[in-house]
Amino acid sequence: MNEQDIKSNMNKSIEATQRNFNTIRTGRANASLLDRINVDYYGTETPIKSLATISTIDSQTISIQPFDISCLQAIEKAISMSDIGITPNNDGKIIRINVPPLTEERRKDFCKLASKYAEEGKVALRNIRRDAIDKVKKDEKEGLMSLDESRDKQQIIQKITDQFIARIESKLSEKEKEILKV
């Protein structure tokens, strides 16, 4: 595993962590709140964004306009059954979701969830580091590199890991500020 592969894998972990952060409510209307919600559309689990145009009307309202009006009820049901805790309003053509302001307790819960997602991202980075270091040690045992080369590569891998962990910490602090902002 070379440095480019390690960085590529770690970037994927950071992107996954960012996607998880995007699903956390911040008290403001955001279309990414609906990213994880799938609708039973003719027997197939389909993401809402594949079935409708999602837009934010203002800071408190999300508008969902289905491409096919017949799936309006299914979209409404999927949102109601989801874990985002918001009730959709259906006017026959468009679904509107009013995002209520968050309570202080709810904001703290969302900060804990963001911390959990960040920790999962860090664990993924550490797993990538472990695999890369194991490969370097294996190459050293097989005589493909010297002890000094092995130590140098391990230090490089650790530096890369530290950089990516710092990026996750930075994204976490941004998300926490966004959540706690009233």
Choosing from 98, 119, 135, the residue where a domain stops is 98
Give the domain range for residue 17: 3-22+103-180
Q: How far apart are CA 39 and CA 31, in angstroms?
A: 16
Same domain flag for 58 and 75: yes
State pLDDT tens for residues 110-127: 899 999 999 999 999 999
Q: How far apart are CA 140 and CA 136, in angstroms?
A: 6
What's the confidence (pLDDT) of residue 28?
75
Mean pLDDT of all residues in 77-106: 85
Amino acid letter, 31: A
- What total of structural domains would you count in the chain? 2
Instruction: Provide long-range contacts, Cβ within 8 A and 24+ apart, for 41-46.
Output: 41/71, 41/74
CATH of the domain at 86: 3.30.1360.40
Show Cβ contacts of residue 60 under 8 Å, excluding neighbours closer than 6 positions: 28, 29, 98, 99, 100, 101
Same domain flag for 90 and 107: no
Asked if residue 163 has pLDDT above 90, the reply is yes
Choosing from 98, 126, 153, the residue where a domain stops is 98
Same domain flag for 55 and 74: yes
- Helix/strand/coil for 179: helix
Same domain flag for 108 and 125: yes
Q: How far apart are CA 69 and CA 120, in angstroms?
A: 39
Q: How far apart are CA 26 and CA 30, in angstroms?
A: 8
The DSSP H or E segment spanning 64 is strand 61-66
Q: What is the pTM of this model?
A: 0.74
Asked if residue 7 has pLDDT above 90, the reply is yes
Of 165 and 28, more confident: 165
State pLDDT tens for residues 73-89: 899 888 888 877 788 88
Choosing from 77, 98, 119, the residue where a domain stops is 98
Q: What is the per-residue burial (b if ≥16 Cβ within 10 Å, else e) of 69-92?
A: eebbebbbebbeebeeebebeeee
pLDDT band at 13 (very low <50, low <70, confident <90, very high): very high
CATH of the domain at 7: 1.10.132.20
Same domain flag for 36 and 17: no
Same domain flag for 46 and 78: yes
